[in-house]
Amino acid sequence: MPDTAGKGAHAPIARLLRIHGRVQGVWYRASAQAEASRLGLAGWVRNRSDGSVEAVAVGPHLQVEAFIAWAHQGPPKAQVLRVEVIDIEAEAFDSFEQRPTI
C-alpha cells in the first residue's frame, strides 16, 4: 500500500519570521535562540538595521508553530507589535545560531 501521507508527514518545515516592535536591546535574540534550542529547532536569528528581528526556524511542524507562538510574546522586556510569517524552503542547519545584524 502506498504511503498516502508522503514525505510531508515527517519532513521539516521552515518559516521566516520578521518580528516588529521593541525587540532590540531586550535580549530577544538570545531568548529566541534558547527557545528554539529548547524546542529542538535549527536556524538562526538576527537584528535588522530597521529595528526589527528576523529569524528562520526549521524543524517539525508543531515545534515551529510553538516557536512562532513564542515569537509573538518574546522575552519579558520585549513589546512585540506584529510578527510576519513566511513559508520558505527548509534548509539544513546544524543548530540555531545568532547572526550579525544586517
Torsional class of 85: left (φ above 0), alpha (ψ -120 to 50), beta (otherwise): beta
Q: Give domain limits for the chain.
A: 18-91
> Exactly one of 46, 47, 82, 99 is catalytic; which is it?
47
**What pTM does this model have?**
0.89
More confident residue, 7 or 19: 19
The reply to whether 29 belongs to the active site is: yes
Architecture of the domain made up of 18-91: 2-Layer Sandwich (3.30)
Dihedral sign (CA 84, 87, 90, 91): negative
Please say whether the beta carbons of 9 and 64 come within 8 A. Answer: no
User: Is 80 exceeded by the pLDDT of residue 68?
Assistant: yes
pLDDT at 8: 55
Residue 11 pLDDT = 82
Is 99 considered catalytic here?
Answer: no
Consecutive H or E run containing 36? helix 28-39
Catalytic residue among 15, 18, 22, 29: 29
